[in-house]
Structure 1
Amino acid sequence: MIARSASRYCLKLRPTLARPVSQYSRQWCRRYSIPSGPLPTASSSSSTGMLAPFVNELDKIAPSFHINGSQIRILKTPTDFYEALKTRIRNAKKRIFLSTLYIGKSEKELIATLQDALRANPELKLSILTDALRGTRETPDPSCASLLAPLITEFGSDRVEIRMYHTPNLTGLRKKYIPKRINEGWGLQHMKLYGIDDEIILSGANLSNNYFTNRQDRYHLFSSSEVTNYFWRLYQGVTSLSFLVEPRNDVPAGYKLRWPSTNAAPSPLEHPAEFVSQATPLISRLISRDETLNNPKLQDQGSPVSRNTKVYMLGQLSQLMKPDSSTELPAITHILKTLAAPEYAGSAWTFTAGYFNPAPSLTNLLLSTASQNNVVITASPFANGFYKSTGVSGLLPDAYTLLARRFLRAIKEKKRDSTVVLKEWRKGTVNEPGGWTYHAKGLWVTLPNEQHPAISIIGSSNYTKRSYSHDLEAGALIVTEDNDLKKRLGDEQKWLQEYASPVTLDDLAKTERRVGLKVRIAMWIVSVVGGAL
């Protein structure tokens, strides 16, 4: 089907198209022995015609692969995610690589599952990447680092590698005196990549108990060696810029962080400017659209006949690159700008972020689309992980309430009241029996005259200003003509709204939703650490 779609892209010539077909699209046409030409405009009534303006520009932004829609499995619950992860770990043959913000210090079952797999298969290798600040926060008490170090002791450094990324933005006196919880605001390793052999789960979830039980997120399982190998290469690039965990019995913490001489750059703590300078060409190359074109190991394999879905690899690794050539923000910006065209007046989008603090540019773009039936989903204060937490972090739910109020005011000012609805997600109350938190993030786009989304973004990003400046993010943009995958994306969009209710300015004006003077403190916290979870 994807070959026929390519044919329609390349043969339906439209002389009025202002922008020429991209280099990648020309290569796509050559691959299938199809004459290249301009892509059709959005005036085409077909799904292919409506997708063309998106694809033409996206091909210039990010690397991509053609797969079949059946190679993407959408998981629904935290339990589904955890069971899928454990099952694949148990059956792993050659490699496991896990990139996460942190692994919960009490995750003994997950560690035992990894141990069992390593013991059962001497050929299996394990690599784990976490953030150094979050992974060592509790040191010298038990931490993520001390939990993982014994794996190296048991299986050896040739089979187990534990890496921890440290931001170059936090050094010297700043690192010495800023409190540990706040210091994470200067940048984190936030990619969520769970790769086992030739499959990978992309998600926003971390690896700790609440993400396995009662913290709603999104989880897409890609059964594709091309997609998995691409993220494996990106993963390796970041690990070559990270500290190595070494087990040590002579220190209370049980481990030490060492900067290997074989790393791709000097330590970010000793030479931060040089670290970024040397990281820039490495990371820029790995996220470039040319990475898949010039690397035979990453190119599409096998028959293209049933490849009806295109998956773009997105990376937002701004703090590692000067100049910044990240791909996620340009990709989502292009999607929303395209939706502003009058031809897309019949389209619809759904946007979700557990911590609702989108970058100002995204807020403006969301409210400037021509789409008429749009939904924003965010966490209710009662589903916010900071609800009733101790210290200043307990003010954060109020901060997000204020941000939601500002968003609703912007909707009203732009006269979009009838086309954009804000919904708050709540399933019980945090820290009470049956209470869940909400952590899902993503975007779905349904084209005019269609019932289900043809475009969706899945990944780690919270879409905040900080996501686009300080943290390391990775994800995928799905563009599909597969009707079954479209339906499943639509189902995902719907089930995330099962516990979501519309909220208005009048609702937020009620006494119980008003925010106090301390909210300014909370707002500052959001600007520094918000969206890091």
Structure 2
Amino acid sequence: MKSIMKRLLNSLCNLNLLLNKKFDVPIFRVHSSNISVIKTPVDFYETLKNLSDQSTKRICISSLYIGTDHLEKDLVESFYQAKSKSPDLNLTILLDYNRATRETPKSDQSNGPTSSKSILLPLINQGANVNFYLTHLTSRHYGLWRRPKWNELISLHHMKLYIFDNNIIISGANLSDTYFTNRQDRYILIRDSPTLCDYFDQLIQTIGQFSLKLNTTGDFQLHDNWHYDPRKFFHRYLFKINAHKAIKNLNNDFSAKTTFNHHNINDDVVDTIVFPLLQMKSLKIRDEEKFTSCLFENQWPKSTRLDIATGYFNLIQKYQKKLTENSCLSPPTTILMASEEANGFYEGNGLLRYVPYVYTYYVRKFLQRINKLSNPNQISIRYYDRPKWSFHGKGIWLQTPEYYLTMVGSTNFGYRSVYRDNEAQLVIITKNERLKETFQSEFVDLVHHSRTIRNWQTDLPRIPFLIPFISNIFRSLF
């Protein structure tokens, strides 16, 4: 009798993914009992704190930025205490340079830290390795990248990975107070998985090697073994080539390490497989894009169901086309997204307050596309609409007769995620009934706070008359 692992892999072979030489990713075996869903922002924060307090070997963090309010200070303090209690603990933090160095004005006129950089400086003296990723694309936009906020339009390091010893949380949430209180996201905790944690640890270390290192004086410098400055125009080509090579070598090394014989797997021990997907188009790494495209275009059995969530709806045209052009053969699909009030930019300052209207316009255009289908009810649009909450959740849930697949991580499946930012996803495939129910319950809980959008003329708010013009021109920035 075939092992569960072999059946899982065979069921994916019709996607022409895992056996495709151009899609070479490491595959990890995980027992379903080690995987759990964290449901709320408060639980996410408490889990981070608890895991940090218990860590003795490593804390490895990748995020867009770390906030500077009291919750974030307490979390960083827990990193400091963990390092103090265990001097040999490896403490590594990787953030985005442009976002994490942006100063945040203090309303109370205090002298406290006003950026991720300043809040992390005390960790440097403790021996922490703190790196800030800056894309080589900034060298092409010299005037723009020097301006706070505007420089973040070019490209961001957007991976959200939180490793504590041999435990990892994969999420789309940043380390900021709103993500710990009333901004709903997804958070998957995988415990006791040393090889998987080693992979993501080394991924963060590898990206850190071609990032800017924060030193004890608060200045940035290149690592000793890296010679290509992303701020210099004539370094950008060699930066891209060598960074691409470093990431591919990492994937190849772990692919070789995780190669296994299907016939030697004990079904009682392994019932779930996971594999990472990276999207770093500026470095010519597009695994997540390839996988998602194949997922959307595959012809699934009739009883299959597909659910998608995104905090910012701006699906690239390729994804929209694959979801709609063969709708009669596609599974029933629900797409959950933030309403205008649940959008992270709602009531923002200056021009940012118009950003939710841009996403509303994209939803309107997609609804018009759906209404032209022979069966428009095949795709359901739902708005996350919870008073005083914002929605930042993202991912895919695919329920088939054979297995359950979920994709969790940082991507929003939009133009920024696919073409600009650095993203990391984890695909989890299981045949375990308990874990299947857990993942399905996760999506049901999110949908509970949503409403259906059927008619763009009656169910969507009106938008300012210039928004369509702006949205079409600057679509690649959202």
TM-score (norm 2): 0.90
The residue aligned with 1:364 is 321
Give secondary structure in 1 for the equivalent of 2:425: strand
Equivalenced residues, count: 459
The residue aligned with 1:496 is 446
In the alignment, residue 202 of structure 1 is paired with which amino acid? I
Shift in alpha-carbon separation, 1:300–1:99, aligned structure 2, 3 A = farther
The answer (yes or no) to whether the contact 1:393–1:522 under 8 Å persists in 2 is no
Larger gyration radius, structure 1 or structure 2:
1
Q: Distance in 1 between matches of 2:187 and 2:459?
A: 37
Is 2:142 aligned against 1:174?
Answer: yes
**Residue 315 of structure 1, aligned match among 278, 284, 288:** 278
The answer (yes or no) to whether the contact 1:358–1:463 under 8 Å persists in 2 is yes
The residue aligned with 2:168 is 200
In the alignment, residue 340 of structure 2 is paired with which amino acid? P
The residue aligned with 1:328 is 288
**Residue 399 of structure 2, aligned match among 436, 446, 455:** 446
1:371 positional shift: 3.4
The answer (yes or no) to whether the contact 1:456–1:479 under 8 Å persists in 2 is yes
1:424 positional shift: 0.2
Is 2:229 aligned against 1:267?
Answer: yes
1:256 positional shift: 1.0
1:524 positional shift: 6.1
Q: Distance in 1 between matches of 2:423 and 2:118?
A: 25
1:494 positional shift: 0.4
Q: Distance in 2 between matches of 1:468 and 1:205?
A: 18
Give secondary structure in 2 for the equivalent of 1:200: strand
Give secondary structure in 2 for the equivalent of 1:57: coil
Shift in alpha-carbon separation, 1:345–1:258, aligned structure 2, 3 A = same
The answer (yes or no) to whether the contact 2:144–2:151 under 8 Å persists in 1 is no
In the alignment, residue 385 of structure 2 is paired with which amino acid? R
Q: Percent identity?
A: 30
My pick for the range that moved more, 519-528 or 96-105, is 519-528
**Residue 334 of structure 2, aligned match among 375, 383, 394:** 375
The answer (yes or no) to whether the contact 2:297–2:322 under 8 Å persists in 1 is yes
1:529 positional shift: 3.8
Shift in alpha-carbon separation, 1:225–1:526, aligned structure 2, 3 A = farther
Deviations along 1:476-500, whole A, 9 cap, x unmatched?
Answer: 1111111111111110110010101
**Residue 513 of structure 1, aligned match among 442, 446, 461:** 461
Q: Distance in 1 between matches of 2:314 and 2:67?
A: 25
The residue aligned with 1:111 is 76
Give secondary structure in 1 for the equivalent of 2:135: coil
The residue aligned with 2:91 is 126
Give secondary structure in 1 for the equivalent of 2:352: helix
**Residue 53 of structure 1, aligned match among 6, 11, 14:** 14
Give secondary structure in 2 for the equivalent of 1:238: helix
Give secondary structure in 1 for the equivalent of 2:286: coil
- Alignment map for 1:329-408 (pairs within 5 Å): 329-338=289-298, 341=299, 344-367=301-324, 368-369=326-327, 370-408=329-367
In the alignment, residue 349 of structure 1 is paired with which amino acid? L
Give secondary structure in 2 for the equivalent of 1:96: strand
1:118 positional shift: 1.6
The residue aligned with 1:431 is none
Give secondary structure in 1 for the equivalent of 2:14: helix
Q: Distance in 2 between matches of 1:403 and 1:348?
A: 24
The answer (yes or no) to whether the contact 1:396–1:526 under 8 Å persists in 2 is no
Q: Distance in 2 between matches of 1:491 and 1:300?
A: 33
In the alignment, residue 14 of structure 2 is paired with which amino acid? P
The gaps in structure 1 that reach 5 residues or longer are 10-24, 26-38, 40-49, 249-254, 429-434
My pick for the range that moved more, 208-217 or 266-275, is 266-275
The answer (yes or no) to whether the contact 1:284–1:326 under 8 Å persists in 2 is no
Q: Distance in 2 between matches of 1:318 and 1:300?
A: 33
Q: Distance in 1 between matches of 2:460 and 2:104?
A: 39
Shift in alpha-carbon separation, 1:395–1:143, aligned structure 2, 3 A = same
Give secondary structure in 1 for the equivalent of 2:415: coil
The answer (yes or no) to whether the contact 1:216–1:437 under 8 Å persists in 2 is yes
The answer (yes or no) to whether the contact 1:184–1:529 under 8 Å persists in 2 is no
The answer (yes or no) to whether the contact 1:226–1:299 under 8 Å persists in 2 is no
**Residue 232 of structure 1, aligned match among 187, 201, 207:** 201
The residue aligned with 2:254 is 292
1:319 positional shift: 1.2
The residue aligned with 1:35 is none
Give secondary structure in 2 for the equivalent of 1:466: helix
Is 2:426 aligned against 1:461?
Answer: no
1:467 positional shift: 1.4
1:284 positional shift: 2.0
In the alignment, residue 389 of structure 1 is paired with which amino acid? G
The residue aligned with 2:108 is none
1:445 positional shift: 0.9
1:247 positional shift: 2.9
The answer (yes or no) to whether the contact 2:381–2:453 under 8 Å persists in 1 is yes
The answer (yes or no) to whether the contact 1:136–1:145 under 8 Å persists in 2 is yes
Q: Distance in 1 between matches of 2:196 and 2:295?
A: 21
In the alignment, residue 337 of structure 1 is paired with which amino acid? E
In the alignment, residue 499 of structure 1 is paired with which amino acid? H
Shift in alpha-carbon separation, 1:347–1:389, aligned structure 2, 3 A = same
1:304 positional shift: 3.6
Deviations along 1:167-204, whole A, 9 cap, x unmatched?
Answer: 11112663457642122111111111101111111000
Q: Distance in 2 between matches of 1:258 and 1:6?
A: 45
Give secondary structure in 2 for the equivalent of 1:468: helix
Q: Distance in 2 between matches of 1:126 and 1:67?
A: 25
My pick for the range that moved more, 139-148 or 223-232, is 139-148
Give secondary structure in 1 for the equivalent of 2:371: helix
Cα RMSD (Å) of the superposition? Answer: 2.5
In the alignment, residue 69 of structure 1 is paired with which amino acid? S
The answer (yes or no) to whether the contact 1:356–1:400 under 8 Å persists in 2 is yes
The residue aligned with 1:5 is 4
TM-score (norm 1): 0.81
The answer (yes or no) to whether the contact 2:395–2:406 under 8 Å persists in 1 is yes
The gaps in structure 2 that reach 5 residues or longer are 106-112
